Amino acid sequence: MGQKWKLYEVKGGKVRRKNKFCPRCGPGVFMAEHKDRWSCGRCGYTEWKRK
Protein backbone atom coordinates (compact mmCIF):
# COMPACT_ATOMS: atom_id res chain seq x y z
CA MET A 1 0.00 0.00 0.00
CA GLY A 2 1.46 3.32 -0.99
CA GLN A 3 0.73 6.98 -0.45
CA LYS A 4 -0.35 6.77 3.18
CA TRP A 5 0.40 10.48 3.48
CA LYS A 6 -2.87 11.16 1.63
CA LEU A 7 -4.85 9.79 4.60
CA TYR A 8 -3.62 12.50 6.99
CA GLU A 9 -3.73 16.29 7.13
CA VAL A 10 -1.79 18.71 9.34
CA LYS A 11 -3.93 21.64 10.45
CA GLY A 12 -3.09 24.10 13.20
CA GLY A 13 -0.15 22.01 14.39
CA LYS A 14 -2.32 18.89 14.82
CA VAL A 15 -2.58 15.76 12.70
CA ARG A 16 -6.09 14.91 11.48
CA ARG A 17 -7.18 11.67 9.83
CA LYS A 18 -9.17 12.18 6.63
CA ASN A 19 -10.87 8.78 6.46
CA LYS A 20 -12.71 6.93 9.22
CA PHE A 21 -11.56 3.73 10.87
CA CYS A 22 -13.38 0.43 10.38
CA PRO A 23 -15.59 -0.36 13.41
CA ARG A 24 -14.92 -4.11 13.02
CA CYS A 25 -11.15 -4.05 12.46
CA GLY A 26 -10.47 -1.18 14.86
CA PRO A 27 -8.00 1.70 14.89
CA GLY A 28 -5.35 1.61 12.19
CA VAL A 29 -7.55 0.18 9.43
CA PHE A 30 -8.97 2.94 7.26
CA MET A 31 -12.20 2.70 5.31
CA ALA A 32 -12.25 3.78 1.65
CA GLU A 33 -14.61 6.60 0.74
CA HIS A 34 -16.69 6.02 -2.38
CA LYS A 35 -19.43 8.14 -3.92
CA ASP A 36 -22.28 6.30 -2.17
CA ARG A 37 -20.60 4.31 0.62
CA TRP A 38 -17.66 3.75 3.01
CA SER A 39 -16.04 0.32 2.72
CA CYS A 40 -13.26 -1.61 4.45
CA GLY A 41 -10.82 -3.41 2.18
CA ARG A 42 -9.75 -5.78 4.91
CA CYS A 43 -13.03 -7.27 6.19
CA GLY A 44 -15.57 -6.01 3.61
CA TYR A 45 -17.65 -3.97 6.09
CA THR A 46 -19.77 -1.35 4.26
CA GLU A 47 -21.67 1.71 5.47
CA TRP A 48 -24.03 3.33 2.96
CA LYS A 49 -24.19 7.11 2.82
CA ARG A 50 -27.57 8.77 3.31
CA LYS A 51 -28.89 11.24 0.77
25 appears as a binding residue in the annotation: yes
As a whole number of Å, the end-to-end CA separation of the chain is 31
Q: Does residue 23 have a known ligand-binding role?
A: no
The response to whether 40 counts as a known ligand-binding position is yes
Query: Is residue 30 within 8 Å of 20, Cβ to Cβ?
Result: yes
Neighbours of 33 (CB within 10 A): 12
14 labelled as ligand-binding? no
Q: Which residues are annotated as a binding site for Zn(2+)?
A: 22, 25, 40, 43
* Residues that constitute the known binding site: 22, 25, 40, 43
